[in-house]
């Protein structure tokens, strides 16, 4: 079986670390609105790493509802309230990310924002998935 998405790496570009420069795929598009680090009961996970992992699990819940999995996620946009905290958490974020997403690294962007709608939220992540027909 061929991969549902293929990473794009222009000639001469160095391979990205932990993300893809671009992804291409064919199928149904699933747009997942920003997910934050709370569970179905509205309880927040403690800390940035735990909230990021929960936000990713929430994204996959939506993607699975459409019949997909982590391998179908083509893009993630992360919004964090503290870039320094994000950078300081990289050693813990990698394993937390892989525990949810495996070794699938879609195109990603990371943006620092002043705040998020939920005051306790430290990160919000939105996604685009492409699920084969």
pLDDT score, position 36: 98
| 2 pLDDT more than 80 | no
Q: Which residues pair with 124 in a beta bridge?
A: 36, 79
How do residues 67-109 score in pLDDT, each as one tens digit? 999 999 999 999 999 999 999 999 999 999 999 999 999 999 9
pLDDT score, position 110: 97
Q: Which residues pair with 32 in a beta bridge?
A: 127
State the Cα–Cα distance between residues 133 and 124, nearest whole angstrom.
29
| 1 pLDDT more than 70 | no
Tell which residue, 38, 30, 27, has the closest CA to residue 4: 27
Q: What domains are there in the chain, each with its CATH number?
A: 23-131 (3.30.1330.40)
State the Cα–Cα distance between residues 3 and 48, nearest whole angstrom.
31
Full-model pTM: 0.93
How do residues 20-66 score in pLDDT, each as one tens digit? 889 999 999 999 999 999 999 999 999 999 999 999 999 999 999 99
Tokens read off for 53? 């992992």
């Amino acid at each position: 079986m061929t991969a549902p998405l293929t990473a794009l790496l222009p000639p001469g570009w160095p391979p990205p670390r932990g993300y893809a420069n671009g992804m291409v795929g064919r199928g149904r598009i699933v747009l997942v609105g920003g997910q934050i680090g709370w569970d179905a009961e509205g309880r927040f996970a403690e800390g940035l790493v735990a909230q990021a992992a929960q936000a990713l699990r929430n994204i996959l819940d939506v993607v699975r509802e459409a019949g997909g999995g982590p391998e179908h996620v083509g893009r993630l946009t992360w919004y964090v309230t503290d870039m320094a905290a994000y950078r300081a958490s990289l050693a813990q974020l990698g394993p937390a990310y892989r525990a949810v997403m495996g070794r699938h690294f879609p195109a990603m962007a990371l943006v620092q924002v002043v705040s998020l709608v939920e005051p306790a939220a430290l990160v919000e992540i939105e996604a685009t998935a492409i699920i084969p027909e």
